[in-house]
Structure 1
Amino acid sequence: MPWQMVYTEFYFEEDHLPDMTPEKLREAILDYSRRRRRFGGKDKVRHFQFKPEVVAISMMFDNSYRHLKKISALIKKSNKKTVVVVGGIAATSSCATILKEQKNVDGVCFYEGEIPLLNLVNSEKMLDFLENDISWVTRKSLREGRLPQKSLIKNLDEVVNIDYSFVDVSNYAMREAFSPFADKIKQRKQFFLITSRGCPFNCVFCTHSGDKDKSMRYASVEAVIKHVKFLVSKYGMNVLTIYDDQILLNKERAKEIFRRLAKFNLKIEVPSGLSVAFMDEELIGLMRKAGMDTVFLAIESGSPYVLNEIIHKPLKIGMVKPVVQNLRKHGFWIQGFFVSGLPGERDEHRDETVKFIKEVGLDWSSFSLAAPLRGSDLFKICAENNYIQKGIKIGEFDFNKFIINTAEYSADYVVKKTYLMNLDVNFVNNYRMKNKEYKIAADAFRNVAARYPNHAFAYYYLSKALKVLKKEKESHKAMSKYKEILKNDVSWREYAEYFNLIYNKQ
């Protein structure tokens, strides 16, 4: 769903959607083109052409940087007077580098961009404005040693009521949740919502860890529910995806939101992960009644040492099991998020995590390899200790590859160890299989096979589940696929041998 595009329209246009019809849009463009300060023409002349005065480029992650030079050069080639600015968390963390290396970039936005960009667009002389505004970093501000400041929207009610009539919403849908319940709704009419901003915590791998501002901002419950009501009545929304980082932090507010969402009969997803520390039985019940059937718990590690001394996450590991038991009682599919490969984490800590997952009884565990994002404390630790390539430049990260090498463990070793953890808890010792809930287990394994068609263990355990369900033909087909993959892939044969599966018969 093009949330960012319609959000931008909402924030920068006075005539908001849905009042903005195609005819009004065309007239707005023509009106814009007649402004003297924009194109220098006479008021009655219509310049219906695309020569933007400013182009803003979003750069959320390092790997976007490799495209910046070409894109900014093409913009300037088209019209050298066009002001080119860059924003996003990766840009904020690398202002000086971007301005040094990218001659076609005029300024970098410091943190959130709505207010700085709106002020820039409304200024009479954009380049002069860039040089003097507190939220823009330029070559001049760097030379003068001026420190940028954030310009934040304080009242999030102003930016909640996004409308989508500018686009054909039927063209957009996402399958966010990995869950056997994910396909309950066949025709998803999915929309997105962010009801809060900020995070008070200091997890080492997060880009927010380098930010001293730990404040939170919230949209009011009334504004949230009003927008949900509009999306349901206008578009028939049946899936609401909430992308807050900390939706549960204000527990009473969260309870009221979920309490009032229940009447809309929606499927609710919160894929960013929920904090166990704020979940009590009342909240869990309200979440279920609101339409949630899958939860993602941001646990990160089953080792208290890793949580407290390495990640700096304020989670007491003993909190998790009671929460999981309450979630289980309400019929949730329970998935945990874990991070592996942090400097200082040892094999005994990873083994502790595997043991913890089995004891707590998670339905599924998602393992991420630690990524030293620029701006995070993890990046500083890795750079200072040469755990990553010395002098690695912005844009040289390959986020599909684990790059942290320590004296104790190579990157290749950690990758393999982490994948063995995944196979162990999600397949070999799958919670639903252990508890003889074979239908749900089979649905989960089908989900994996659909996403990863050459996943041998998905087919092996799908076959096992189907056999118990007396679906012999399907079971045989899945086992045949498993054997075919093993025949052609040495890596899967090694994994099968490791878990003593290769010689097992159906």
Structure 2
Amino acid sequence: MERILFVVPPNITFDDFVRPPGNVGTVRLGQSDKNFGSVITDIPLGIISLSTYLKKHLELTSMAIDFNVQLLKESDFEFGDFRSYFRQHFLAGKYDEFNPTVVAISAQFTSSYHSVVDIAAVCRERFPEATILAGGNLVTAMYRDFFADSACIDAICFGEGELPLRDLLLATDRPALIAGHNSWISREKVPAVGNPFQHTFIEDLDDIPFLDYDILDLDGYRLNPTLSRYAVGAESAGALAIMTSRGCPFKCTFCASYQAHGRKMRYYSEQRVAEDIDQIIARYGMKSFIIQDDHFMGGRERPYNIVAAIKERGGAIFFQNALALYALDRRFLQLLKDTGIDELVLPVESGSARVLKDVMHKPLKLDIVKRVIDDCREIGIFTDCNIIVGMPGETKADIDESREFLKGVYGDWFRVFVATPIPGSEMYDEAIDKKYFVNSPVNANYKRAVIETPDWSAEFIQHISYAMNIELNFVHNSNVRLGDDRKALDCFEKVLRVKPDHAIACFYAASCLERLGEPEKAAEYLEKARDFAATSTFWTPYIEMFGIPVFPDDPREAA
């Protein structure tokens, strides 16, 4: 019987974990008094889909280890690198009896690159007879690099893995299968140029049985999920991730999701989605659902019907991946609100029409952005707007135009990210071709600039992205401008739960509390703001840039 060990590497680099930069959230491990980089725990739908599909076709047992969960369960971390940590973990006796015949490593993000190499090396030591495979968006796009840096990976799956992995495990001659299969890549098959490999997709997603959530430590995914960063996080701690479709037809230059799922849309049937929801409620007692589709709004009535089906069962929904704004008409927004959705992530990306059209190739007009944000505010849905800064081809004038537009709309919150060249994206290829990289692609993390162009430096993008965050969310906060200090305060305190030493969040929380008639609590926050600003020079440029009167001897405070 096959025994497959699925491994998910940390979605953070070792350096960012042990020495988190000032512009990111942090976590504490156990009783440790040290701050570590925030590790996100999102349910890896890919590996549990593989597990359940393989069990449909052959006899096997499976086990999963997600190091994003495992790291957060440690009481402390004293290792000099991740490889040492992985070695200690895999030497533990828990794997003695299981003794996998196949180790399957799944990675999605560039920040996991070195961990994939390290895990493969440690698993080769620990399980010398096992076949070591790797897959996922990252590995699909960077297969040349992985084979160059790892002698321990036996084969790499190109794109989705259900059918290729089934074919491999059923084959009597596995090396021959890999050699002749268009979706399996071996070291010997890597061409000098070009890409001869092809996806092998499941066309009817209903062929995949109910996902194998049972191989996961489900409680562990409540430790620090993405949705804990959002307003609904506390209420949805018991949510379970689902995916109702695969694929995305759009060609945004910063996105590489098509590398795994293709551009053609494929759907689970509405009946199947309803059956999965019923099973989740019955098996796990969970009635909150995180929908992770890349393009949920595909199909005319399908999105309405799925949301309605969840509503009928008394379920709650959170869309982790942003919904296409063009499809968010008043009717659908009202349905979402009636279902209990109080917050949406909106993929605004830029406030520059030129950048959206000519640089990002994103089919979105700015009047739609304003209309959706206004509708959400009227209906009572909190808007969390994603913004990207630093695209190749974007100029400083474009960034200024974007800032001015975004200050003119009343989004509740803006998440400003550094444009990150994801392997497999058009942006990544352009950065490689034009030699824009000034730092390794694998050090990118949406908060660190790794490219520069003739229009700007990496340092400028690093600075302006965070300056936009401060300007839009604090200095020019929409809810403060509209007189809703309570809602603004809730947002500032949410920031402080993720980053307790955020001097500017403390200052603006104090300002809200003062206006809300809570002077004692306001004084506590103001004292913290001054302490954090005095002890860390990180805040100084932004305090000075926007004239934020944090300190008592600042003449602006008297004014």
The SS at the match of 2:289 is strand
Q: Greater CA deviation, 87-96 or 329-338? A: 87-96
- Distance in 2 (CA, whole Å) between partners of 1:469 and 1:225 is 45
Match of 2:524 in 1: 477
CA distance in 2, matches of 1:226, 1:169: 20
Structure 2 counterpart SS, 1:360: coil
Q: Which amino acid in structure 1 is aligned with residue 156 of structure 2?
A: V
Q: Is the 2:420–2:444 Cα contact (8 Å) retained in structure 1?
A: no
The one-character-per-residue Cα deviations of 1:108-147 (angstroms, maximum 9, x if unpaired) are 1111111111221122222222112221012343469992
Which residue of structure 1 lines up, in the alignment, with residue 254 of structure 2? 205
The answer to whether 1:405 aligns with 2:415 is no
Q: Deviations over 1:128-182 (max 9, x none)?
A: 2211222101234346999222111111123362253455644431351544444
| Other structure's SS at 1:240 match | strand
- Give the structure-1-normalised TM-score: 0.86
**Does the CA contact (< 8 Å) of 2:241 and 2:292 recur in 1?**
yes
Residue pair 1:225, 1:260 contacting (<8 A) in 2 also: yes
Q: Distance in 2 between matches of 1:169 and 1:379?
A: 34
1:11 aligns with 2:59: no
Contact 1:62 1:397 in 2 (8 A): yes
Kept in 1, the 8 Å contact 2:479–2:485? The answer is yes
Match of 2:109 among 47, 61, 73: 61
How far the C-alpha of 1:266 sits from its partner, in A, is: 2.7
Equivalent residues in 2 for 1:386-425, closer than 5 Å: 386-389=435-438, 395=442, 401-425=448-472
- Cα separation, partners in 2 of 1:78 and 1:441, compared to 1, 3 Å: closer
1:148 is aligned to 2:197: yes
Aligned partners of 1:84 and 1:463: how far apart in 2? 54
Q: Distance in 1 between matches of 2:149 and 2:188?
A: 15
Residue in 2 aligned with 1:342?
A: 391
Deviation at 1:436, TM superposition (A): 0.9
Q: 1:443 Cα shift?
A: 0.7
Question: Match of 2:498?
Answer: 451
- 1:429 pairs with 476, 483, 487, which one? 476
Separation in structure 2 between the aligned mates of residue 271 and residue 52 of structure 1, nearest angstrom: 33
Matched residue, 1:31: none
Contact 1:177 1:271 (8 Å CA) reproduced: no
Distance in 1, matches of 2:407 and 2:495, equals 20
Cα contact 1:242–1:268 (8 A) shared by 2: yes
1:397 Cα deviation after fit: 5.3
Q: Larger deviation: 272-281 or 127-136?
A: 127-136
Q: CA deviation at 1:295?
A: 0.4
**Would you say the 8 A contact 1:296–1:334 is kept in 2?**
yes
Equivalent residue in structure 1 for 2:319, among 254, 261, 270:
270
Query: In the aligned structure 2, how far is the partner of 1:212 from the partner of 1:59?
Result: 14
Equivalent AA in structure 2 for residue 242 of structure 1: I
Q: 1:2-38 deviations in whole A, cap 9, x for unaligned?
A: 544543432222499xxx999xxxxxxxxxxxxxxxx
Which digits, 9 at most, give the CA deviation of each residue in 1:65-98, with x for residues without a partner? 3234443333333454422221112221222333
Q: Residue type matched to 1:131 in 2?
A: A
Q: CA deviation at 1:233?
A: 2.7
Matched, 1:438 2:480: no
**Would you say the 8 A contact 1:83–1:106 is kept in 2?**
yes
1:246–1:131 distance in 2 versus 1, CA, 3 Å = same
Equivalence for 2:420: 371
Alpha carbons of structure 1 residues 303 and 160: separation in structure 2 relative to 1, 3 Å: farther
2:376 aligned with 1:327, yes or no? yes
Report the 3-state secondary structure (helix = DSSP H, G, I; strand = E; otherwise coil) of the residue aligned with 2:301. Answer: helix
**Does the 8 A contact of 1:306 with 1:349 survive in 2?**
yes
Secondary structure of the structure 2 residue equivalent to 1:335: strand
Residue identity in the other structure for 1:159: I
Change (3 A) 1:225 1:365: same
1:86 to 2:134 alignment: yes
Contact 1:161 1:223 in 2 (8 A): no
**TM superposition score normalised by structure 2:** 0.79
Letter in 2 for 1:139: R
Question: Does the 8 Å contact 1:160/1:194 carry over to 2?
Answer: no
- Residues in 2 aligned to 1:314 and 1:106: alpha-carbon distance in whole angstroms: 41
CA deviation after TM superposition for structure 1 residue 218, in Å? 0.8
Partner of residue 29, structure 1: none
2 CA distance for matches of 1:300 and 1:21? 39
Structure 2 gap ranges (5+): 1-41, 64-95
C-alpha RMSD of the superposition: 2.8
Q: How far has the Cα of 1:53 moved from its partner? A: 2.7
Please give the alpha-carbon distance, in whole angstroms, between the structure 1 residues aligned to 2:435 and 2:348. 28
Q: Does 1:183 align with 2:234?
A: yes
Deviation (angstroms), 1:271? 1.6
Q: Post-superposition shift, 1:388?
A: 0.9
AA partner of residue 391 (structure 2): L
Determine if contact 2:52/2:209 at 8 Å carries over to the other structure. Answer: no
Secondary structure of 1:192's aligned partner: strand
- Following superposition, the deviation at residue 402 of structure 1 comes to 0.9
**Once the two structures are superposed, what CA deviation does each residue of 1:371-403 show, in whole Å capped at 9, x if it has no partner?**
1122111112112222114xx877565765311
Secondary structure in 2 matching 1:176: helix
Q: Note closer, same or farther for the CA distance 1:375–1:472 as it changes in structure 2 (3 Å cut).
A: same
Conservation of the 8 A alpha-carbon contact between 1:203 and 1:209: no
Counterpart AA for 1:314: P
Q: Deviations over 1:40-64 (max 9, x none)?
A: xxxxxxxx84443322221323333
Distance 1:183 1:139, change over 3 A: closer
What is the CA-CA distance between 1:364 and the residue it aligns to? 0.6
Larger radius of gyration, structure 1 or 2? 1
Inter-CA distance 383–8: structure 2 relative to 1 (3 Å threshold): closer
Query: In structure 1, how many angstroms separate the alpha carbons of the residues matched to 2:284 and 2:261?
Result: 40
1:249 and 2:291 matched: no
Match of 2:335 in 1: 286
Cα pair distance change 1:123/1:384, threshold 3 Å? same
Report 1:296-315 matches (<5 A).
Answer: 296-315=345-364
Find the aligned partners of 1:494 and 1:393 in 2 and give their Cα distance: 26
For the pair 1:196 / 2:196, whether they are aligned, the reply is no
Contact 2:326 2:364 in 1 (8 A): yes
**2:548 maps to amino acid:** L
Q: Match of 1:406, as an amino acid?
A: T
Say if 2:208 is the partner of 1:159.
yes
Check the 8 A contact 2:357/2:363 in 1, yes or no. yes
Deviations 1:307-356 (A, max 9, x none): 11110101111111122222112100011111101122122211222222
Q: Which amino acid aligns with 2:201?
A: L
Structure 2 CA distance, aligned partners of 1:123 and 1:180?
49
